[in-house]
């Protein structure tokens, strides 16, 4: 059912700078220890940050109160090829995250708070706008920029029913932003289908988010965790400016300012994880997440309202709405990892993560990302007394996505390919008290 013009969804126009892959726009690997195994122990790991961001029931497995802080430095290299011409993009950024967990003596209740980014994605391309729109117009050499940020601050609690079984939940606030600044072709609006504008849009908003989990430890060697995060509808308000100069030559002024209210969704995520103390110094971990993209990224809508340009409003009206096909598929994402104690103070970590891209190849563009499908991770940890220091390195990669015939109107991205490689260094410090 169409949404009112002032209440519509907007395309997630993103590149995977900040870890996406088969997770789509969602991150994995919270904190340096978890990142060092590609998230393979995420459902069972007993540290404050991972528990608060993945499985809150794991808070009960903490031996002591603790706080943890980490910094993740990310760099992404993209290569876009169209009709034999190549364009490159290099982007980098730093993502902080922190958590605190505590228990009152032998109480079965453990509490926690944390702040971390669920997504921190950005694209910043410069290439010629291919002829398209009505009449085959172009806005020339322009930036093609997009981004999505989502930061969660939450409070959580776990309850240990006994020494083997615990349950947990978190509730929090999610702040998110959507940015888009690039030529845009209307896809399905009856009056505007095929028309092209240079659109600059920014919206943001706050929404509630929750997570639930269970941890079962049948003995000292095995741990089994499950978690679920319900679908979150993200409500945003903001503004947009559309440049009609190439599509409506002779019209003055060429810009129309709009109010924008956007609605996006983060999908339902459900996961299972198992860890096994295979030997005195060796631990093995596995996790599997199911992500219901089809209920969140199927068909998205773009809506603008209250246009300020009377000339353009006279031609197309003050409100503009459109539907854009996305067609993401539900996916399983799996991770395998290991931790080996080199000594009483040092631990070596490694992991591999795989998730088939949820995107149909025909709908891939530089602005909505070619998602790498593999992650390889390596980590090292050191502990002494109440202190722990951890570091990890991750690389994300996959085959280039090739688009023979674009599924978007005007076919501007037909005969193109897109490839991304993402690397990350994460450093973390933890103190128990």
Q: How far apart are CA 152 and CA 115, in angstroms?
A: 6
What's the whole-model pTM score? Answer: 0.89
**Residue-level pLDDT at 49:** 97
Quote the pLDDT of residue 263: 80
Compute the C-alpha angle 374/393/383, nearest 5°. 130
Say if 2 falls within a structural domain.
no
Where does 267-345 show beta strands of DSSP type E?
A: 269-277, 282-291, 299-304, 320-325, 331-341
Number of domains into which the chain is organized: 1
249 belongs to a structural domain: yes
On whether residue 337 sits in a domain, the answer given is yes
Question: Is position 342 within any domain?
Answer: yes
pLDDT on residue 10: 40
Does some domain include residue 9? no
Range of the structural domain that residue 127 is part of: 21-432
Any domain includes 8: no
Residue 245 domain-assigned? yes
Q: Are strands 165-185 and 196-216 parallel, antiparallel or unpaired?
A: antiparallel
The answer to whether residues 321 and 8 touch, using CB atoms and an 8 Å cutoff, is yes
Q: What is the CATH number of the domain that holds 183?
A: 2.40.160.60
pLDDT for the residue numbered 299: 75
The C-alpha atoms of residue 301 and residue 290 are separated, in whole angstroms, by: 25
Instruction: Tell whether 25 is covered by a domain.
Output: yes
Q: What is the pLDDT along the chain (433 residues), one digit of tens a residue?
A: 333 333 333 443 433 333 444 566 788 999 999 999 999 999 999 999 999 999 999 999 998 999 999 999 999 889 999 988 999 998 888 999 999 999 998 899 999 999 999 988 788 899 999 888 888 899 999 999 988 899 999 999 999 999 999 999 999 999 999 999 999 888 887 778 888 999 999 999 999 999 999 999 999 999 999 999 999 998 899 999 999 999 888 888 899 999 998 888 899 999 999 999 999 999 999 999 999 999 988 877 778 999 999 999 988 889 988 878 888 999 999 999 999 999 999 999 999 999 998 988 888 888 876 678 999 999 999 999 999 999 999 999 988 889 999 988 878 889 999 998 999 999 999 999 9
């Amino acid at each position: 059912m169409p949404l009112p013009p002032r209440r519509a969804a907007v395309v997630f126009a993103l590149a995977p700078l900040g870890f996406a892959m088969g997770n789509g726009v969602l991150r994995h690997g919270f904190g340096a220890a978890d990142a060092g195994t590609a998230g393979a122990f995420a459902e069972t790991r007993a540290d404050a940050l991972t528990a608060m961001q993945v499985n809150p029931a794991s808070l009960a497995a903490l031996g002591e109160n603790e706080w943890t802080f980490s910094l993740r430095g990310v760099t992404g290299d993209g290569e876009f090829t169209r009709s034999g011409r190549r364009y490159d993009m290099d982007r980098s950024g730093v993502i902080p995250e922190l958590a605190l967990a505590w228990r009152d003596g032998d109480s079965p209740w453990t509490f926690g708070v944390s702040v971390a980014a669920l997504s921190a994605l950005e694209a910043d391309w410069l290439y010629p706008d291919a002829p398209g729109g009505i009449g085959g117009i172009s806005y020339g050499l322009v930036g093609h920029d997009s981004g999505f940020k989502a930061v969660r601050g939450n409070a959580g609690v776990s309850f240990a029913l006994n020494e083997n079984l615990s349950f947990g939940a978190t509730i929090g606030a999610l702040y998110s932003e959507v940015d888009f600044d690039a030529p845009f072709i209307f896809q399905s609006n009856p009056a505007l289908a095929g028309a092209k504008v240079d659109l600059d849009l920014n919206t943001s908003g706050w929404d509630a988010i929750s997570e639930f989990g269970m941890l079962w430890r049948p003995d000292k060697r095995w741990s089994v965790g499950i978690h679920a995060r319900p679908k979150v509808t993200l409500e945003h308000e903001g503004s947009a400016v559309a440049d009609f100069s190439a599509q409506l030559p002779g019209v003055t002024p060429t810009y129309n300012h709009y109010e924008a209210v956007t609605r996006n969704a983060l999908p339902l995520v459900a996961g299972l994880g198992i860890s096994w103390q295979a030997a005195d110094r060796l631990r093995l971990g596995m996790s599997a997440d199911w992500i219901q993209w089809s209920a969140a990224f199927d068909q998205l809508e773009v809506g603008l309202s209250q246009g300020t340009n009377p000339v353009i409003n006279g031609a197309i009206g003050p409100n503009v709405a459109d539907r854009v096909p996305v067609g993401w598929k539900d996916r399983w994402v799996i991770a395998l990892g290991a931790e080996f104690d080199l000594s009483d103070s040092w631990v070596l970590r490694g992991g591999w993560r795989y998730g088939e891209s949820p995107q149909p190849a025909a709908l891939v563009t530089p602005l909505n990302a070619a998602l790498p499908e593999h992650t390889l991770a390596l980590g090292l940890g050191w502990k002494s007394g109440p202190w722990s220091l951890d570091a990890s390195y991750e690389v994300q990669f996959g085959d280039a996505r090739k688009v023979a015939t674009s599924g978007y109107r005007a076919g501007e991205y037909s005969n193109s390919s897109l490839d991304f490689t993402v690397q990350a260094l994460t450093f973390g410090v933890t103190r128990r008290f």
